[in-house]
Structure formats: C-alpha cells, structure tokens
Structure 1
C-alpha cells in the first residue's frame, strides 16, 4: 500500500526546491504576461501595478474603489508609456462582480488569456467578534463579518475563477520547475496574499487572523494537486507593512519595533510572478535586517557589516514542511500510517465496502 507520509508526498506534489534568494531573477520576465490583480488600487497592490506595468506586463486592476483605481491607471500609463493597464470595478465579496472582472480581463488581454492571478484584495479594521455591543439586550446583535467576507470568501471566489481561466490561457504550458522564465511568457500562476497572521496569532483581530490562517490552508492544500492542472501556486506573507491598512491602534502597538517596506513586498511578488520555475513556495516579508545563521541553524540578529551576516527582508516559512513537519504532526501522521499498515489490505477492502454501502444509503 502507498504510505501517504509527508516524506512520501514530496515527489508527488512536484514542488520546486526551497527558494535560493541569492539567485537573481529579472523583472523583465513579466513582459507580455497578462496579470489580473484584485485590490490593486492602493497599498502594495498599487506597487505591483506600477512595477509590472513598467516592465511591460498587461495589468488589469480590480478594486471596489473606482476613484483610486482610475487615478492609478492614468498615472501608470503616463509614467510608463504602457497603455495595457486597465481598471475594472470589482467587489470581491460579490460573485458576479468577480465573474465580470475575469471576463473583462480576458477580453482586454492581447492574447485572450490570463497568465497570473494575484488574490490581493484584503481589509482590516475594528473587529466586533471580541467586542459585542448591546450587552443589555435579550440577545446579541448580528455581528458584521466584512473582514472575513473580503479576506476569505473573496479569495475563494478569486481562486475558483483562477482555476477556470488559467487553464484556458491560449498558448500556455503546464507549469514546470525546469521551465525557462526568460522565454516562457504564457503562464498559469496563482499568487495568494496571506500575512504574518497566516503563521502567528494577531491579538484583537480574530476575523483577520482566521481568514489569513485559512488562506495558508488553501495554499497548502492546492499546491499538493495544482500540477495536475498545470497551475503553479505561491503564497506571500507580509508582516506589518507601512501602508494605510495598518490602523492607528496597530501602529501604537508596533511603536519601537519596525514595519516592512512596500518595495520588499513588490520584490518578493515579482520573483514569484516572473520566475516560472517557482512552484508551491511561500515567502514572509518583514523589515530589512542583518542576520547570521548559527551552527544550530537558527538566525541571530547582528550589526550591519558583521562578517558572515546577510541583509534580508525575505524568509521562507514553509521551506521543508513536506519533509520536516512539526513534531506533533510527524508523530500523529506516523501513528495513523501505522494503523493503516496494521489493518492491511483486508482493512482497506472492508472500509471500501462500507463506503460503497454508505453511498447507497445503507448506514448503521
């Protein structure tokens, strides 16, 4: 029987090796690609638009803020001379609105297809989950879950539509870590925007935290099977980045620390979009620091210029998680696989018969 251990799945998912950030990429590799970005009218989404348009990409911006979107597109066209930059109004929480965005993007694409989809739209704000109002009422009022709607439901809609349109991209080839990004223009790529909140708890932001944890789960699930559709999927997890989405209370909490820079988020995203050899990888973007790796494998903060030190704002959080998972995960998976092995083919056959009976309505 096949043992579905993390180790046994490494070859099956066809994931590229951990990212070597010392290997350069060329932003010009995005030239000719048609890129759809949700929530691209402001923040680092707008940074993506400016940088990719400058390097010759066709960019379609979907955003709920029509005024900002129109202004951005006009500015980018004027600054870059690239007229293949377009704005389409889109409410990511509305299914039909996203359907219309994707249809419009394909019609605006010079080749009639979409090469990369960036699920960037997201919001933050006051979360009512831990701050219920009307405590003197007979029952609590219905909470507003707008943060969850945008950051999770909107991303699920985007992902569903991406998997429909990417495989229809004319002239595209199945993803491959052996591809030549300088020559490969037609692509099938989905870039998800997670957060440091995908990996760690963020106090007083349970909706945002839950949504970004879910995006991480979506990424880890899809990257195990996406190669069957020839789609490569990657994940970006920014720390607190100096953009309008970081609220005043959050800035007070972060006082004395450091926030990441938009240009580093743009750099990480461009590496993913431009380099078609990267499959199933994630990058955390934090403040730029100088670190040195210890003999234990851990990183230590050091002064700039320290021998052996490396300056970076990028970290790979899921570098070897299919091979080296958390101790608890490894132990529980080994136990479950031991149970499977002990039951053998007889146990498998018995369960199969039960499953068929369950499907036919014979239940105990």
Structure 2
C-alpha cells in the first residue's frame, strides 16, 4: 500500500495516545502518526521497548514522545498515566485503544481466569482508558480509535474469549457514540483481519500458560504497516467503521449466508494445523 506521508496536516501537533504501542499495529501506527507530525504518548508494559521506541520517534521523526509503563487492565494505573499525559502535553486529541491479548483453546477447555484476563485487557482496558481520556477529548473535540477484529463478523473457533471481547467493544463504543452525539468526539471501530504481529505468536492456552504456537491463519496475513496506513486514512476521513483485509469480505459473507459451510471450513483449517 502506497503511503501518502505528507498528504495531510490533520494530525500535525495533535496529541495521540496509543495503548500497546511498542509492537505490531500499535508501533506501526505510532510511526505513521509521527510521520504526520503528531506528538505521541505510548502505553505499554515493556519499559525497555518503550524507551527504545520513544528514542526512535525522536531521532527519526523529530517528534515529541512520551512512553509510560501502564497495565491498561488496572484502572488506577490508567488514571495515573492518563493524568501524566494530559499534564505533559496539556490535553489529548486522539486515543487509540490498541492493547490486546488473545488465546487458543476451546470454550469448554478454557479456565474462567483466562476469559477474565482477556476481557480485562481487551475490553476493560479500552473502557478504563476511554473514561480517563474522555474529558480532555470532549474539550478538544477529539477522536477515539478502537482496534476490534474481523472476528466480530466471522468468529474463529478456539478463540471464544477473544471473540467475546471484540463483540463487547462494539456494544460499548456504539453506545458511547450515541451518547456523545453533538459533542464533537468521533469514534472509529477498526476491524483488521489476520495481521503479522506478535499477538499471533504469544497466546494463552486454556490453562493460562503461554503457547508459542501461532494461531491459524486463512489467507495472507497483512503487514502492520498496511493496517496502520488504512487506520490512519480512516481516521482522516472520520470513518465510523473500518473493516480491513481483502479475504475478509469473503469470510463475512460466508459466515452470514452459509454459516454451516463456514464452520466446516474453519474446522478443516484448524485440523490442518497453524499456518507459519
């Protein structure tokens, strides 16, 4: 995908906060926003990766960047970190709820603690960050970008907790959009398909242990840079919903019109083993 790096000044000097911003789509989006002149705040759990990314953004893009170690599932930690961001930059223009984790296990073989952990990061993490950021976003008539998933439309077996967390995000942010009507705050839900990120490679098992084996992929996995570019362009156009990845329209169509066939295809793909 060709990148129109300097095509717009919409995000020039705007303050953009990205959760889970040190790898994958989050990092690619941080670099894309930096190319557009934004000032960046990054939340992540890896302090070393945070320090490296902040230095990279300063050195290569000449932008102001702040990296804060923050577990988005911890409401108090989010409130403290958000206060530091707003104090440092004077406010917030764009919140990107990107932090997320996944698992690979059948529903009946997944401990409740795994469901709780996935929901804590994927759903409650976005909720905590949004509630903490919303007063500043309302003042500055800003944007909220939420990373959902193709699984919202065509769920993948053995990711029940992950799929549920993404459905919950749509319910939450569709409701919030209605409540914020007329406030000037814009909300975009972005639904990438399979993307070549570390999220696919570091997953939880049903017992909560880490699994090195990647989750199955149908079709070609997109690059984080292409996904970030699509999200950036969608944010420029203030899209409400962005569904990405070329194979996904087929998956959505099959899941809706031929659900039994879709289920059979997914079971066959799982039986074949994970893609490399």
The bucket for the TM-score relative to the shorter chain is 0.7 to 0.9
Quote how far apart the aligned CAs of 1:52 are.
1.0
Quote how far apart the aligned CAs of 1:35 are.
0.6
Q: Structure 1 residues 113, 272: closer, same or farther in 2, change over 3 A?
A: farther
Q: Structure 1 residues 250, 33: closer, same or farther in 2, change over 3 A?
A: same
Q: Which residue of 2 aligns with 1:90?
A: 70
Name the SS for the 1:91 alignment partner: coil
- Gaps spanning 5+ residues in structure 1: where? 1-24, 133-140, 170-186, 290-298, 301-314, 318-325, 327-364
Provide the rounded CA distance (Å) in 2 between the counterparts of 1:207 and 1:193: 16
Q: Which residue of 2 aligns with 1:124?
A: 102
Which of the pair is proportionally richer in helix? 2
CA contact (8 A) 1:127 1:207 kept: no
- Scaled by the length of structure 1, the TM-score of the pair is 0.60
CA contact (8 A) 1:90 1:98 kept: yes
Give the one of 215, 235, 242 matched to 1:283: 242
Quote how far apart the aligned CAs of 1:153 are.
1.1
Give the one of 100, 124, 129 matched to 1:158: 129
Provide the rounded CA distance (Å) in 1 between the counterparts of 2:112 and 2:244: 36
Matched, 1:272 2:234: yes
CA contact (8 A) 2:195 2:221 kept: yes
Quote how far apart the aligned CAs of 1:288 are.
7.9
Q: Which residue of 1 aligns with 2:57?
A: 76
Provide the rounded CA distance (Å) in 2 between the counterparts of 1:274 and 1:87: 24
Q: Which residue of 1 aligns with 2:120?
A: 149
Provide the rounded CA distance (Å) in 2 between the counterparts of 1:56 and 1:222: 28
Name the SS for the 2:154 alignment partner: coil
Name the SS for the 2:169 alignment partner: helix
Q: Which residue of 2 aligns with 1:229?
A: 183
Quote how far apart the aligned CAs of 1:129 are.
4.2
Q: What do residues 270-312 of structure 1 show as CA deviations (whole Å, max 9, x unaligned)?
A: 123334xx25x111121489xxxxxxxxx89xxxxxxxxxxxx
Give me the CA root mean square deviation: 2.8
Give the one of 80, 83, 99 matched to 1:103: 83
Provide the rounded CA distance (Å) in 1 between the counterparts of 2:52 and 2:8: 24
CA contact (8 A) 2:103 2:161 kept: no
Quote how far apart the aligned CAs of 1:207 are.
0.6
CA contact (8 A) 1:119 1:193 kept: yes
Q: Which residue of 1 aligns with 2:266?
A: none
Q: Which residue of 1 aligns with 2:205?
A: none
Quote how far apart the aligned CAs of 1:117 are.
0.6
Give the one of 180, 186, 208 matched to 2:162: 208
Matched, 1:220 2:174: yes
- Gaps spanning 5+ residues in structure 2: where? 1-5, 202-211, 257-276
CA contact (8 A) 1:191 1:236 kept: yes
Q: What do residues 309-345 of structure 1 show as CA deviations (whole Å, max 9, x unaligned)?
A: xxxxxx9x9xxxxxxxx9xxxxxxxxxxxxxxxxxxx
Q: What do residues 148-188 of structure 1 show as CA deviations (whole Å, max 9, x unaligned)?
A: 1100111111221232221233xxxxxxxxxxxxxxxxx41
CA contact (8 A) 1:128 1:143 kept: no
CA contact (8 A) 1:130 1:204 kept: no
CA contact (8 A) 2:106 2:160 kept: no
Q: What do residues 201-252 of structure 1 show as CA deviations (whole Å, max 9, x unaligned)?
A: 111011100000111222322222322322111110010101111136445x
Q: Which residue of 2 aligns with 1:54?
A: 35
Give the one of 31, 34, 50 matched to 2:12: 31
